[in-house]
Structure 1
Amino acid sequence: MRALHAEWTKLRTSPGTAGLLLTLVAATAGLSATVAAACSGAACGADVALTGVQLGHTVVAILAVLVVGNEYSTGMISVTLAAVPRRFPVLLGKAVVVAVAVAAAAAVAVAGSVLAGEALLPGYHATLRPAVGAVLYLVLIALLSLGLATAVRSPAAAIGTVLALLYAVPVVVAVITDPTWHDRLVKYAPVSAGLAVQSTASDPLIGPWKGLGVLALWTFAALLAGAITLQRRDA
C-alpha cells in the first residue's frame, strides 16, 4: 500500500502527466472526429469512429515509458528502491496507477470519439464492445510500454522500441506478400491483434476478444521481463 501511494503521488504531481492525459483525450477524439467528417459510404463504422485510438496509443505509450524512464534517467530510482526495498511492489504500484490513470482518460477519449461518430457518420450507432475494447486496448498498450521501459531502463531506447512495435511492425506486416505469413502476423502482432477488438468486419482474421487476449499476453511478457530485470539489476 505504501508503494502504491508513493507511485500515485509521483504520477499525480509530475508536471507532464496532466498534459499527456489531456493530449490523449484531444488527440484521440480529435482524429476520430476528423476522419469521421471525411468519411462516407458503407465502410464508415466503428473502425472509423475509433480511428483516433491509433494516435492515442502513442500518447499512452510515452506516458508509461516516462513513469519509469524518468526515474532511471534522473537517478531517482535509487531513492524509490531505498524507500521500498522489495522491488516487485514498486513495479506493481506503477502498473496500477498507470492503468487507472490511462483507463480514466481513455474512457473520456473513446466517449468523445463515439459521440463524434454518431454525429458525423450517417447510420452509425455505437455498440459497447468496440468502445470498451478500445479503452482496454489503450490500458494494455500503456502497461506493455511500462514493462519494456523497466526492462531496458533508458527512456529513449524504450520509446524507440515501443514506437517500432506500434508503427514499424504493422508496416512490415503490410508489405509481406505471402498470405499465410501475412495472416499469421496480423493475428499475433500486438497492435493488429489488439485493434481487432474494434473491428466490425463480418469475417475477421482473429476474433475481437481473442485479439485483445493476444495483446494481453504480450503485455504480461513485457511486465514479466521488467520485473525480472528490476529484481536482478542494480538500480
Structure 2
Amino acid sequence: MNGWRLLRAEWTKARTVASTGWLVAGTVLTTVALGGAVAGATHCPSGGCGGDPVRTSLTGVQLGQIAVVVLAVLLVGTEYGTGTIQVTLAAAPRRGAVLAAKAAVLGALVAAAGAVAVVASLLLGRVLLPGSTLPGGATLLRAAGGSVLYLVLVGLLALGIAVAVRHSAAAIGVVLGVLYLLPVVAGAVGDPHWQRHLVQVAPMSAGLAVQVTVGAADLPIGPWSGLAVLAGWAAAALLAGALLFRLRDA
C-alpha cells in the first residue's frame, strides 16, 4: 500500500470512530472553557489586568491536552483492543509507514482543533480581560502558534507511548503522569537549583513556556527551548514505540 492510500486508510479509520469527533470537539470546548473561566476570574482594576493576558487566556490548553492524549491513545488502543491491528498490518506490512500515517492523521486533527481553540481563547480573553492589551506581531504569533504546536507534540508523545504500551488505560495513565506529576514533583523540591532543572526537563512546564509574553527572560527555560524539550520527549516516545512496534508480534 502506497503512502497516499495508507494516509486515506488511517483517516477513514479515525473519522469513522465515534469518539474521534467527540474528542476533537472536547479539545476545543475544554480549552476555551477553562481559559474563559480563568480570564473571567482574574481581577482587573481600572488601569487594566496587568500580568500576562495571553498566557491567562491560554490556560485552558492545560486541560484541553487531556482530550488530545485520549484521542492519540485511542487511535492505537482501539485497534489493539479489537484485534483489527492484524488486518492493518496484513494490508500494510511496513510498520514504520503505518505509524507515520497515524502520526500524520493525528497531527492534522490536533492542529485543526488546537488552532480553533487557541484563536477562540484569545478572542474570549480580550473580552473578559478589559483594559489588557495583547502583544502584537511575532510575540503573539509565537504564543498562539506555539500553543497549537504544543498540543500536536503532546499528541505525538501519547501516540508513541500508546504504541509501546498497547493498552489504552495504561497508556493514558503513563502520559498524564508524565505531563502532570513532574511539575508537582518540581514544586515539592525544596532546593531551588534542582527545582529549576526539573522545570526545564518536565515536558508540560517546559513546553508551556512558549505561551509566555511577559517576563520571558526570567523563565527557567526560554519559550522555544522549552518547546524543543517537549519535542524531544515526543521524538523519544515515537522512536521507542516504532522500535517495539517493529519487533513485537501484533
**What residue ranges of structure 1 are gaps of 5+ in the alignment?**
none
One of 38, 49, 52 as aligned partner of 2:57: 49
Task: Work out which of the residue numbers 32, 42, 64 in structure 2 matches 1:39.
Answer: 42
Taking the TM superposition and a 5 Å limit, the aligned residue runs for 1:208-219 are: 208-219=223-234
1:44-68 deviation digits (Å, cap 9, x = unpaired): 5111110000001111011000000
The amino acid across from 1:57 in the alignment is Q
Equivalent residue letter for 2:31: T
Do residues 166 (structure 1) and 176 (structure 2) align?
no
Structure 1 distance, partners of 2:52, 2:96, is: 45
- Alignment of structure 1 residues 1-235 onto 2, 5 Å: 1=3, 2-40=5-43, 41-122=49-130, 123-125=132-134, 127-202=140-215, 203-235=218-250
Secondary structure at the residue paired with 2:221? coil
Which structure has the larger Rg over C-alpha atoms? 2
Separation in 1 of the partners of 2:66 and 2:29?
Answer: 13
Return the alpha-carbon distance in structure 1 between the equivalents of residues 233 and 247 of structure 2.
21
How far apart are residue 93 of structure 1 and its match?
0.3
Task: Write the distance in 1 (CA, Å) between the matches of 2:87 and 2:133.
Answer: 51
SS of alignment partner, residue 129 of structure 1: helix
- The whole-number CA distance in structure 2 between the counterparts of 1:194 and 1:61 is 15
Runs of 4+ in 1 over 6 A off after TM superposition: none
RMSD (CA atoms): 1.0
* Secondary structure, counterpart of 2:177 in structure 1: helix
Q: Is the 8 A contact 1:44 1:121 kept in 2?
A: no
Structure 1, residues 144-168: CA drift from partner, whole Å, max 9, x if none?
Answer: 0000000111111101101101212
Question: Normalising by the residue count of structure 2, what TM-score does the alignment of the two structures yield?
Answer: 0.92
* Range 125-134 or range 97-106, more displaced: 125-134
The answer on whether the counterparts of 2:186 and 2:199 sit within 8 Å (CA) in structure 1 is yes
Shift of 1:43: 2.4
How far does residue 124 in structure 1 lie from its aligned partner after superposition?
A: 3.2
TM-superposed CA distance for 1:200, in Å, is 2.6
Q: Name the CA shift for 1:132/1:186 in 2 (closer, same or farther; >3 Å).
A: same
- Answer whether contact 1:117 1:124 (CA < 8 A) is retained: no
* CA–CA separation in structure 2 for the residues paired with 1:45 and 1:157: 36
SS at structure 2 position matched to 1:206:
coil
Q: Match of 1:119, as an amino acid? A: V
| Count of matched residue positions in the alignment of Structure 1 and Structure 2 | 235
Please tell me the residue identity of whatever aligns with 2:245.
Answer: L
In 1, the alpha carbon distance for the partners of 2:238 and 2:177 equals 18
Which segments of 5 or more consecutive residues in structure 2 lack a partner in the other structure?
44-48
- 2:153, 2:133 → 1: CA distance? 27
